[in-house]
Amino acid sequence: MTITASTAPMAAAPATLATLSADLAAGRVSSRSLLEACLARIDDSAGEGDKTFLLVDRDAARAQAEAVDALRASGTAMPATAGIPMSIKDLFDIAGQVTRAGSTVLSNCAPASVDAPSVARLRRAGFVLVGRTNMTEFAFSGLGLNPHYGTPRNPWQRTQGHVPGGSSSGAAVSVADGMAHAALGTDTGGSCRIPAAFTGLVGYKPTAHRVPQQGMVPLSPSLDSIGPIARSVACCALLDALLAAEAPPELRDGSLSGRQFAVPRTLVLEDLDRHVAGAFESALSRMSAAGARIDEIDVPEFAELAAIHARGTLSNAESFAWHRELLAGHAAEYDPRVRARIEIGATQSAADYAMLLDARSRFIASVGRRIAGFHALLMPTVPVIPPRIADLQADEAYFRTNTLVLRNSSVVNFLDGCAISIPMHDIGQPPAGLTLACSGGLDRQLFNCAAAAERVVVAGSP
């Protein structure tokens, strides 16, 4: 791989949580005005609001925004993020609302009695909860298609109908289209990072145990993570800290000089399309020119994943355990493509599942030793740019593309690591994401690396 210097074009910086907080504190905007602008984008008949949100909680959001404005006007001390509109993936419980998980199967369930812990933490931070976003049914796909409620089209070349990425499809589109300023999602095999990469945003997958999973519909408890989608590394770092009930990391050292990164040669660089390959080469070039040391390494454990998963994955086994009784009475109501993946779990034995858990433990230990000397791994988030929805009508094309789209990001979930996707494409080019990943527990190290990389990789960053 040849690494040469290059320069990213500049553009106007997007509205981040920091700039929005400053504007609210200074009285330049109100929470109600921010909310109304988001609602206007949702209601725009030329937009994707009706496919992005499964529920828009207008009355409650307006009441919340007005309460924040009144408290701020009275001089009451407020959290810095109080009054910023945010969307919530339909996988989470919100008190008084039905959690459908992007499906019709759960539509007749009782409303949640309390907020999920992650939702409650965001509410305590003052975020205005705009509504529930669309998703792949039961979070089981990286493409973002939903036959029940429609699929929000990717902002890139919207008239051509590219996929938004999944499973947190509506979450990403809500932020990309200005219908919210941040989104709560989940990530079992890339479901925050893939839609972020496909829509030019930042998506974060934390070390899983840091954020409680109660109050959300599970896909695979062994792999599920709860993370944000937003417009910058700093936005995701703040949201992650709130979700984990931790102090935010101090992202002060913006230098890449002296940092060591590893690019795995194994698996994750295979079958890259020319746009992703070019953007990745350029991102490495910029990081190298800024002082980063980048080494290519072999990670033979990655090549073993196909054999490890030959009889099914943890997601297959654990999703079938959760869905077995629902499938017995409602199989015909499922998206057939989602149902097919869940039902693979019916063919896995207890011995198969135990072997998966054992293989994962060995994988985590072995890969952890191999990458311990590096600050982070670097890889393309997704090997391809967003495919067109029309090109995925045949099941063969759908499943083949879904497997490829999930390939790189799912490695990190199996590693029980943490990972972030930042945009690496130049302005006007097809969207592509750069992943930085670490072993589990190194979230703060990762955020500092990502913030430094963002300054030189992301087009339009300061």
Q: Are residues 211 and 222 in the same domain?
A: yes
Which of the listed residues 347, 365, 396 is the one where a domain comes to its end?
347
Which of the listed residues 347, 367, 396 is the one where a domain comes to its end?
347
Question: Among residues 191, 232, 288, 439, which one is catalytic?
Answer: 191
- Retrieve residue 88's tokens: 């919530």
Q: Are residues 328 and 444 in the same domain?
A: no
Is position 84 within any domain?
yes
Nearest to residue 296, comparing CAs of 260, 270, 256, 255? Answer: 260
Q: Are residues 100 and 196 in the same domain?
A: yes
Q: Are residues 256 and 380 in the same domain?
A: yes
Is position 3 within any domain?
no
Question: Rounded distance, CA 227 to CA 167, Å?
Answer: 12
Q: Does 167 participate in catalysis according to the annotation?
A: yes
- Retrieve residue 288's tokens: 């190298």
Q: Are residues 146 and 269 in the same domain?
A: yes
Domain count, the chain: 2
Identify whether the C-beta of residue 230 lies closer than 8 Å to the C-beta of residue 239: yes
Residues with Cβ < 8 Å from 229, sequence gap 6 or more?
Answer: 168, 171, 172, 175, 182, 183, 185, 192, 195, 196, 201, 202, 203, 204, 236
Q: What percent of the chain has pLDDT over 70?
A: 97
Q: Are residues 184 and 109 in the same domain?
A: yes
Q: Are residues 354 and 338 in the same domain?
A: no
Confidence at residue 252, expressed as pLDDT on a 0 to 100 scale:
78
Is position 2 within any domain?
no
Report the length, in residues, of the chain: 462
Q: Are residues 342 and 363 in the same domain?
A: no
Is position 5 within any domain?
no
Nearest to residue 429, comparing CAs of 317, 278, 294, 292? Answer: 278
Is position 444 within any domain?
yes
Question: Among residues 21, 31, 167, 225, which one is catalytic?
Answer: 167
Q: Which domain covers residue 289, as residue numbers? A: 17-306+350-457
Is position 9 within any domain?
no
- The pLDDT tens digits for 383-432 are 999 999 999 999 999 999 999 999 999 999 999 999 999 999 999 999 99
- The pLDDT tens digits for 41-81 are 999 999 999 999 999 999 999 999 999 999 999 999 999 99
Average pLDDT over residues 345-360: 98
Q: Are residues 235 and 341 in the same domain?
A: no
Q: Does 255 participate in catalysis according to the annotation?
A: no
CATH code, domain with 423: 3.90.1300.10
Q: Are residues 90 and 203 in the same domain?
A: yes
Nearest to residue 91, comparing CAs of 216, 211, 278? Answer: 216
Which of the listed residues 315, 347, 379 is the one where a domain comes to its end?
347
459 pLDDT band, cuts 50/70/90, is: confident
Question: Among residues 89, 220, 232, 282, which one is catalytic?
Answer: 89
Distances 106 to 90, 110, 164, 217, 220 between C-alpha atoms, Å:
11, 9, 24, 10, 18
φ, ψ for residue 274, nearest 5 deg: -65, -35
Distances 321 to 189, 192, 253, 325, 349 between C-alpha atoms, Å:
18, 24, 45, 8, 12
Q: Are residues 302 and 312 in the same domain?
A: no
Is residue 9 scored above 90 in pLDDT?
A: no
Q: Are residues 210 and 234 in the same domain?
A: yes
- The pLDDT tens digits for 133-190 are 999 999 999 999 999 999 999 999 999 999 999 999 999 999 999 999 999 999 999 9
